[in-house]
Amino acid sequence: MSRIPEETIQQVLTATNIVDLVGRYVKLRRAGTNYVGLCPFHTEKSPSFNVSATRNTYHCFGCGAGGTAIRFLMEHDGLQFVEAVKRLADAAGIRIEEEVWDANAEREAKQRSILKKVHEDIAAFYHHLLLTKPVADAARQYLKSRGFTSAVAKNWHIGYAPDGDDLLRGWAGERRYSSDILIEAGILARADDGRHYPRFRHRLMFPIRDDNGTVVAFSGRVLSPDQKGGKYVNSPETPIFSKSKILFGFDKSKRAIGKAGRAIVCEGQLDIIAAFEAGVQNVAAPLGTAFTEFHAKMLKRLTEEVVLCFDSDAAGFGAAEKSFKILSPAGIVVRVASLPKGEDPDSMIRKQGPEAFAAAIEKAVDFLDFQIAHKRATQGTDMRHQVQLIEQTAVTIAMNPSISARELMIRSHAGSLGVSEDALKNQVEEFVRRRKKGEEGEAKPATSGEEARKLVESQHKNGLLLVQIALTDCEALEWLRSQDIEELLHDFPGLEMLNRVWLAHFPAGDEAALSFFLSSLSAAEEAAFGQLMARRSIEGGLDHAKATLEALKTERLDYLIRRARAQMKQPDLSPERLQELHWQVMDWHKEYLDRTKPAPDSR
């Protein structure tokens, strides 16, 4: 496949004067250091469309559209990415040479091959430890307690990561793997003082495989309640691994999903393994993150129906809602299976057998019925809540791209909601129109300003603040990337944009590289970053960034404590799990008190 080298794209963006480009389509006037005009992407009477010559970006404060010069042409003229780059290159007199294979591509391919070899080798190392070495006895006992045999461990190539680093260093020395390649692979992590240490310690190791069955990452589970770190720790993003593009178990289950015409989506690795080994093989799970459009496309290739099998608590309902919002617009029918309280697929299969789990899947209800039942059970029945329920139902129906399906859902649910079919239909059509049009009702091209605004609104305020500082202060950006904040990003919701910046490789202060980074994002993400960059600069630089990160770490502890205490109130919680949560809360509470303790009086 032909490609335009990254260096060429950066050169094109640097050579393009975005004020001149936009000025061909929009009448601009100078306003301080920026230029303003009427937005070309939605109808407005007062100009809210801003173009920054210094940042080489645009942003509309009205509809939220924004990005680089490439994105402007894509949105305004309906061009594909490569077409937009070529048009800008022609205008700048830059020659585009698309190559099927070049030195950069060859170097990147070689590096990916090395990383895959490292993962295959260390997966075998972890697996060998689990099956044969005394150091892995706790891991073997844990698997036995969960009903998993050695045959299951072999089938899924489950392994064990030792607590110390002697065995790992010995293995790496024999294989002649350098610390640098193990760090790039995510096996080792680098501390603030420059030393490196194993990312996974005393954990049960589940290899994560791509569609072809190649090991590209790991997910490590704790083996003791008092163990530090998250219950599950995944490998960091690498050139061969992006958790938003992989479903655990999909390499094994994709054939069964296609054959069954249905995919069962669970929450954890153990659930997937238990179901698969019990004969329910059309299963998969996201890797500790919400469903993505890429996941939806993966499943859509094989099936048009997904059954969500999440926890029956508020968090499980929230996860189901988020998954529905991704799956339904892709044309996938979404159903929800209800398991007994306190049970997950793994525990249910162990206690009641695979037949009971399969029966629960067969009884799965349509997501809309599930949502209505949940709302009625958790909120009031007065008129205000009834109106909210009708509006929420209309929003859910409007997400379905099929007109026929929407019509059937309106007929099926209008009566039970106490509203006429015409009234519900009008409400649904209103939400459909809102999705397709701008704020003032005019047809809106394929911009993503509203999606960008929602993305920004979904982010934690201190996370956004840290992103703003990092994008405008070179020292703060370099410092941020040196921090080990993987647990924070994994545990605490609303830090997706911060995660993007933390993982990005553009050099601090390199405007061309920053522009390329923005152009490589999705339209919604690019516009969201544009919204942040259009805000007033944050003062304080590195000191402000450090204080903000410390505040985030403290808020994470408070969030974990509140979440664990809510889980402790669940009925039918096992004594072992209750004790585990109790000790976790005590540890987090002590750390929280240490962080919030006033500094001693120095007088």
Q: Tell me the β-bridge partners of 52.
A: 34, 57
Q: What is the pLDDT of residue 503?
A: 87
Calpha distance 219→438 (Å, rounded): 42
533-562 residue pLDDT tens = 888 777 878 999 999 999 999 988 888 888
Distance CA 237, CA 234 (A): 9
Check pLDDT > 80 for residue 255: yes
**Average pLDDT over every residue of 365-389:** 81
Under the banding of pLDDT at 50, 70 and 90, the label for residue 274 is: very high
Specify the pTM: 0.56
Nearest CA among 291, 369, 298 for reference residue 325: 291
Mean pLDDT in residue range 109-119: 88
Q: pLDDT per residue over 278-321, tens digit each?
A: 999 999 999 876 788 888 888 887 888 999 998 777 777 888 88
Q: What are the strands, taking DSSP E only, across 145-201? A: 159-161, 188-190, 196-198
Collapsed DSSP state (helix, strand, coil) of residue 319: helix
Q: How far apart are CA 464 and CA 478, in angstroms?
A: 17
The residues, ordered by sequence, that sit 6+ positions from 283 with a Cβ below 8 Å of its Cβ are: 249, 253, 263, 264, 265, 266, 271, 272, 275, 276, 345
The pLDDT-based confidence of 98 (bands split at 50, 70, 90) is low
Please say whether the beta carbons of 305 and 263 come within 8 A: yes
Higher pLDDT, 248 or 522: 248
pLDDT at 602: 45
CB-based contacts of 392, cutoff 8 Å, min separation 6: 371, 375
